[in-house]
Structure 1
């Protein structure tokens, strides 16, 4: 935002400087030219009064000496012409009477008209200042005096004035930049704080950490400060609602676990004492109690995962994966399933504490549970790829439909083809949450040969 707002301010400043500087430079140029014009006009009129006698006598020798003295003192050339436009007297440096500007000026003077101002002068205009004054004898035009003044000095003076105006404009622009930088920072400070707060709000809310208000600092425009306060109120409310939700899930799961455990123990203690008529209902009750207890355990795991504010830490992925693979080999073997593990040594990843244990237990539990057929296999692989530690678990079960892959990590979602398999639908949701908190990603795909493959990527530490 600063990179867009600052140029707008500078463009406005440049437009103001141009709007003031260009007329000022033009005014200074016009004033300098007017001053030179009036000075040369006065001298030309004086020479016209001196030229009356020469035109009456028809002799211009003495007048030529006067014209030459004027040239030496005032640095311009001049000439006195008669009514026919022929030179009667000239300075030692003659005037080119055939020049267009000189000829036109002499013609105007011989017609009895006074010279008119010729506008302004610019540094790139090298034309001299030509003035012609009629010489009157008894009110009759008898000739004219023409002066030709070089404008080198005037153009240098105008160029200097323009340079001073430009330097003043650049100084004003530099001052505007120095003043606009803190102004723009002051205007954008609440927006910068809002941007940082918005970026960190999701991580703060999901981590269960308290939200830090961004409107505490009383700076910036009042409108933006009000916006920051409104954002703080919204973010605080969202954080409190999420915290209350997590607390409710954790408390409810914890409070229900003890009576459910007691109920399960009481039900199992009735084993062998139930009549044959109630045996079927008894077995179903035990299964439901066990299933409900499993759901509560997974809810507690999910609640702890979401409520924990712990940041990712270096984790010896190889050691954890090998340990969990050995633990699940016995479970898989009890169901006549082979667990094949290929784990690259020396893997170190960045993950929240116990992330690999949670992920492995959830993925291997699903893989073993959904793998069908005696002698089937569950494949576990882990290796380093670029800046990631990649972990895959592949089963040979019924798998999912392609349209179901995006929904598989939703909480409590289960595929219709798995309804006869015990489970709560929280396993992959827990995996997705833990991996996301570690800065990783989860992908599901359907490999050739059937089954489901879950790929997890954790950031790797060198």
Structure 2
């Protein structure tokens, strides 16, 4: 944005400088040529007064010496012609004239005075031709023609224009120097707002307060915008903090009465009327499901807070969670397999890989049928490590893949499967906090493939931005 503002300033300064410089160049050139024309016209009129008698008496002996002397001193050719246009002095013939010169000579022989010529550009090498009539008692007896070289005049004109061009360039340079601090002053609040946006996002992830961006600098309008941004950031971070606190506190507070409820329902086992046995079992199942939901809400609340990154051994995390889920998988007739590249490490919060695997494996076990295989695949690609879990269950439709990580969303085709719709949301949020991304795919052969892409651990244990 600073470059665009500088371009605007330079365009304005350039237009003003070029406009004033062009006007100055035109007026100085016109004034110099007018002065040059006036001096030559004066000389031509003077010579015309001198040749009145020689033209009347038809004697030009002394005239040749005068004209030669004038040419030697001023470098200007002076020619005298009679009323019919023939040279008065054969020793001083008139060179062929261009259209403008011939027009002026004809005007002089008709008794009219020479007019100021139009402005000539410096690259126009034509000489200045002035013709004045020689009048005796009001009668035209001939004309005096002066042919003045304009090379020296144009050279001085070019020098003047070069100085004006240098002044224009200097004005542009000064405009840049003056506009730089002004542009910097104008854009300072904008830069602070841009940086503040990133700080607000970081503060929201960390669960803390965002650093204010208003510092009473810049234009008044942008200062008011900075103050409004700080109020908005404070409101947003406060609302999110209250939301997290509510979820965490509500989950904790509900666990105690829920645990007591489960104990009371368990103690009633064997003391319930036979007709109410099914209802008693259903109540125990609902209590268990509610307990699982509270655990997931607590896990989701924990994922809303960022944690420092560390080098996490992928092999250890995968082996640990596969062993934890293997009894349940074998109990339901499923096979857990591991393949891919071993010896990988990622930069992630401690326990993040385990949380992701728990959520994804739980989803795969619930959605798979007896005899299916669940495969955990690990591989490194450039600076990323992919941990993929693939099942061979019914999978999801193309339009459902994007919604699968939404909170509490469940596929209509799997409404009979136990779950709360928070598993993949927890996995996606955990991966995002680690600087990675979660991708869902429908591989060939059916099923669902969930790929967590995390940054490979470096020597400093930091993560690069996700590509």
Instruction: Give the TM-score taking structure 1 as reference length.
Output: 0.90
Question: 1:300-379 to 2 correspondence within 5 Å?
Answer: 300-306=298-304, 308-373=305-370, 375-379=371-375
State the distance in 1 between where 2:449 and 2:102 align.
101
Aligned to 2:288: 290
Question: 1:275-286 to 2 correspondence within 5 Å?
Answer: 276-286=274-284
State the distance in 2 between where 1:108 and 1:376 align.
112
**Larger mean Cα displacement after TM superposition, 122-131 or 446-455:** 446-455
- Check the 8 A contact 2:79/2:92 in 1, yes or no: no
- Check the 8 A contact 2:401/2:441 in 1, yes or no: yes
Change (3 A) 1:127 1:416: closer
State the distance in 1 between where 2:12 and 2:107 align.
48
- Check the 8 A contact 2:64/2:92 in 1, yes or no: no
State the distance in 1 between where 2:202 and 2:250 align.
25
State the distance in 1 between where 2:176 and 2:117 align.
40
State the distance in 2 between where 1:461 and 1:286 align.
45
In the TM superposition, what whole-angstrom CA distance separates every residue of 1:138-174 from its partner, at most 9, and x where no partner exists? 4433222211111110111111111111111111112
Aligned to 2:151: 152
Change (3 A) 1:410 1:67: same
Change (3 A) 1:127 1:436: same
State the distance in 2 between where 1:233 and 1:357 align.
38
2:402 to 400, 406, 418: 406
Structure 2 gaps of 5+ residues are 459-467
Change (3 A) 1:167 1:273: same
State the distance in 1 between where 2:96 and 2:2 align.
65
State the distance in 2 between where 1:170 and 1:239 align.
51
Change (3 A) 1:155 1:376: closer
Change (3 A) 1:403 1:135: closer
SS of match in other structure, 1:339: strand
In the TM superposition, what whole-angstrom CA distance separates every residue of 1:156-201 from its partner, at most 9, and x where no partner exists? 1111111111111111112112222332333233233333334554
State the distance in 2 between where 1:190 and 1:254 align.
43
Change (3 A) 1:106 1:378: closer
Question: 1:13-412 to 2 correspondence within 5 Å?
Answer: 13-89=13-89, 94-96=93-95, 100-199=99-198, 201-214=200-213, 216-274=214-272, 276-306=274-304, 308-373=305-370, 375-412=371-408
State the shift of 1:271 in Å.
4.4
State the distance in 2 between where 1:241 and 1:364 align.
33
State the shift of 1:79 in Å.
1.7
- Check the 8 A contact 2:128/2:147 in 1, yes or no: yes
- Check the 8 A contact 2:107/2:114 in 1, yes or no: yes
- Check the 8 A contact 2:105/2:131 in 1, yes or no: yes
In the TM superposition, what whole-angstrom CA distance separates every residue of 1:71-111 from its partner, at most 9, and x where no partner exists? 11111011222223232237x77531665444433332222
State the distance in 1 between where 2:204 and 2:92 align.
93
Q: Is 1:428 paired with 2:424?
A: yes
Aligned to 1:453: 449
State the distance in 2 between where 1:97 and 1:278 align.
132
**Larger mean Cα displacement after TM superposition, 172-181 or 404-413:** 404-413
State the distance in 1 between where 2:96 and 2:382 align.
89
State the shift of 1:430 in Å.
0.5
State the distance in 1 between where 2:204 and 2:100 align.
85
- Check the 8 A contact 2:60/2:89 in 1, yes or no: yes
State the distance in 2 between where 1:420 and 1:81 align.
120
State the distance in 2 between where 1:377 and 1:312 align.
32
Change (3 A) 1:289 1:98: closer
State the distance in 2 between where 1:325 and 1:98 align.
107
SS of match in other structure, 1:453: strand
SS of match in other structure, 2:241: helix
Change (3 A) 1:165 1:446: closer
Equivalenced residues, count = 458
SS of match in other structure, 1:80: strand
- Check the 8 A contact 2:44/2:131 in 1, yes or no: yes
- Check the 8 A contact 1:443/1:455 in 2, yes or no: yes
State the distance in 2 between where 1:99 and 1:430 align.
93
Q: CA RMSD in A?
A: 2.5
Change (3 A) 1:436 1:95: same
State the shift of 1:278 in Å.
4.7
